[in-house]
Amino acid sequence: MARFQGKCKGEKGEASRLGHKRMSVEANTWKRGISVNITKINDEMNHFVVYLTNGSDGQYEQSSIIAEFNALDVDGSIQEYNQTENINLAIQEKWRKNEQK
């Protein structure tokens, strides 16, 4: 039995995929997108990372972590949580670091 299930709904219906140890799902507009990566830590815990990503036009090269947390598989309770307080500041900081390279 699969540990993870990803779903996508569009105008032409729904598609789904199964994952056993990890799964990534993405959605984007022309300018920006979002990505969620889920990884099995052990039989009881999963690790989630949510990213702000580039869009279809490829203008933005860097993705930024929006949130990161661990959740128990049994009841879904969140055990550890980290969130970027100001997403715009996080993105600007990454751009500055790239320009300095």
pLDDT of residue 4: 86
Q: What pLDDT is attached to residue 62?
A: 64
Which DSSP helix (H) or strand (E) runs through 87?
helix 87-100
**Domain boundaries, given as residue ranges, for the chain:** 20-100
pLDDT tens-digit readout, 22-72: 888 888 888 888 899 999 999 889 999 998 888 888 766 667 888 889 988
The whole-angstrom separation of Cα 70 and Cα 73 is: 9
What is the pTM for the complete model shown?
A: 0.73
